[in-house]
Amino acid sequence: MSVNTLGHAVNQSTGETVAQFFGPPNAFSNEGDVLSRCLYHLSEVIIRGIQPDKRGGFLGGEFGYGADYENDVFLMHPDYQDVECDCGVSKLRERWDRHGGCVKTCFSRLCLKARKDAEKPYRAIIDWLCWGRNQLPWLSKETESWQRQIESFSKQERAAEAKAQADLAKQMGVGGGDAWACTCGGKERWAKWRELHPHAERCAIMLPNFWYKPNGLRITWYKWIGRDMKMKPATISGEEWGNLFHECLNSLPPDAVSKAKTEAEAEHVESNGPEYKEAQQAGMARMMEVLSAPESHGAPPEKRVCNTCKKVEFGPPSWSTPLFWECDDCQKKRGAAIKRKAMKAARELGIVLNVVTA
């Protein structure tokens, strides 16, 4: 399965979300692999048994983000997107990071600048062509001709960048085709420094989402269990995994495990009872009602103003809501500015732009 579409249907009058769509891979769905399902289960037991206030996942299923827990056997924690280094190394790295340790006169830095300068006028022209194309009816003949121009200038842009790089390489006597070639020794100095200053093993950005301590197995996921999972070492036999998983489960406090089990069983009975079925059917009916009205898809209604002038007001989102929430006037002004820049660039390059409209 490769369905990744995420979305939700919203009741326009109440703003209430009535249906959510999410695609596998996902530990919660039946497509979830054994590894993901075990991790999900472990997370479920911990949350039900030890941290009931942490319940309530969203796209990843109720327990899908992973629990935040650690004992002598394993560690599990959710994928915190905004996690930062807490061992101090990132702070120390900052002074190296911007240019990877290279000085101003290093080929890698001069080359980056030369490529940027060479690209600039073409960028201006391409920006205008894209803007113009986007004003035209979708898939029209004119669109095609603008698109051809965009492709042609993109090609010229790449050629200009490559030429700027080759010229500089010749001038500085740098062989090979590497734009990042270091001629100042900075990259080597930086690599050595990094080797000597690794993040602490328990630095927040180094911790995997699952860490089995006895053999060091580490698993990471993106947002929820099962999504973009990476494991180190990369393979494990089913038997090994089975033993490992059971050891993790057995390492949890027994009363927590039995509490989780009792709760899950009770909910399972509940979820098969007549009341649950009735609620499910009512939910389905509501969902069909909303889905059959096209204007009901999209974000919840809210008053929005033009992103640029902050004055013009828009109604609730609809098919005719302008792109980027920008009013006609502001869009026209922006277009004119983009065009002026493109014309100036064309003059500099001695090019006549032969797209006449828009």
Q: Which residues bind Zn ion (CB under 5 A)?
A: 85, 87, 89, 102, 106, 182, 184, 186, 199, 203, 306, 308-309, 312, 327, 330
CB of 335 to Zn ion, least distance (A): 13
Would you say 353 and 343 are in contact if contact means Cβ atoms under 8 Å apart? yes
DSSP structural state of residue 297: B
Burial class (CB in 10 A: 0-12, 13-18, 19+), 162: middle
At its nearest, how many Å lie between Zn ion and the CB of residue 295? Answer: 24
Nearer to Zn ion, 84 or 278 (CB): 84
Residue 56 in tokens: 């309530």
Distance in Å, CB of 190 to Zn ion, minimum: 9
Residue 197 or 347 with smaller CB distance to Zn ion? 197
Taken in order 62, 66, 71, 72, the sign of the CA dihedral is positive
Cβ 94 to Zn ion, closest distance in Å?
Answer: 12
For Zn ion, the closer CB: 91 or 230? 91
Torsion angle, CA of 87/89/92/97, rounded to 10 degrees? Answer: -140
State the amino acid at position 336 in one-letter form: A
Tell me whether residue 202 or residue 347 sits nearer to Zn ion (CB atom). 202
d(CA 339, CA 9) in angstroms, rounded, equals 39
**Residues for the chain: how many in total?**
358
**CB 101 to Zn ion: min, Å:** 7
Nearest approach, Cβ of 218 to Zn ion (angstroms)?
16
Query: Which helix (H) or strand (E) element contains residue 119?
Result: helix 107-135
158: exposed, middle or buried (Cβ count in 10 Å: 0-12, 13-18, 19+)? middle
Minimum CB distance to Zn ion, residue 214 (Å): 24
User: Which is closer to Zn ion, CB of 75 or CB of 290?
Assistant: 75
Both tokens of residue 68? 């935040």
Backbone phi, psi, residue 117, to 5°: -60, -40
- Among residues 198 and 253, whose Cβ is nearest to Zn ion? 198
Measured CA to CA, the distance from residue 161 to residue 301 in angstroms comes to: 46
- Nearest-approach distance from CB 185 to Zn ion, in angstroms: 6
Reduced to 3 states (helix: H, G, I; strand: E, B; else coil), residue 240 is helix
Six-digit token string for 59: 């796209």
